[in-house]
Amino acid sequence: MIDFHNHVLPGADDGAKDMAMAISMLKNASSQGITDVVNTIHFQHPKMEGKNVDYLYIQSEINKLQEEIDKESIAIKIHMGSEVFYLPNLTEIKSDPLNVFGHGKYMLIEFQTYQLPPGYDEELYRLLMSGTTPIIAHPERYKPIQNDINIVEKLINSGCLMQIDAGSLLGQFGKDCKKSAETMLQRNMVHFMGSDSHNDGKRNFCLESAAKMCEELIGDMTTLLIYDNPQKLLIGEKIEPFEIIDIKDNTSFINKMFNWKS
């Protein structure tokens, strides 16, 4: 499995506090069958004030972590990236290789929990037109989307992709997040699933457990979210969104489920 979206780089943001914690987290990840970890350091988030998010510095820290992983004989490869906090400057910061994946093809973007700012959809469209596909980080955790799942449909139809947190599916962020994550999966609105791990406690890697729950909802399509699509992202291949399902049409939904699991 490939874990796309986590904060395991020690001391870099609000994730792993030191190398010992990072190694503990990665041992846990390896035990679940995770072979690749895409670290996504917070970028331009208010919580990052005073933190060094220079590309060359982060690359050197990734190399140090990889050296320790290899010493511990943990069969995981670390990949570098960021989780960009939304500001209306996305096309301006895409030139920084830290902020994009797959040779500039993709960018992971997060929003505030309680509101989507005015004009955000226009900025996402400008980013898309510049050649970089926006990936929305954990949309199931945003209150406006919990209240109106059609926002996700509109974003996907405009060209965006969606990444849910494994912890949301496991109920770690409350019933509203869990319900939204399940609805998105049932409607083919999810393209990636990552742990969003931050520590070796309650926010640890949990992709294995979430993948099992995911399989109950969408069957073999789970592999696309935790292997195929993340692999395409890393090498810059095009990722096609799935056909969105209207679950009000029970016959269509049941037929889809049968096809996935057969």
Q: What would the mean pLDDT of 208-232 be, rounded to a whole number? A: 97
How is the chain split into domains, by residue range? 2-261
Kindly report, residue by residue over 113-142, the tens digit of the pLDDT: 999 999 999 999 999 999 999 999 999 999
* pLDDT score of 33: 98
Order of strands across the sheet with 77-85?
2-6, 36-43, 77-85, 106-110, 133-137, 161-165, 192-194
Average pLDDT for the chain: 94
CB 106 within 8 A of CB 82: no
User: What's this model's pTM, rounded to 2 decimal places?
Assistant: 0.93
Regarding the domain with residue range 2-261, which homologous superfamily does it belong to in the CATH classification?
Answer: Metal-dependent hydrolases (3.20.20.140)
CB 16 within 8 A of CB 50: no
Classified as helix, coil or strand, 222 is: helix
Nearest alpha carbon to residue 53 among 45, 153, 199, 234: 45
* pLDDT of 249 above 90: no
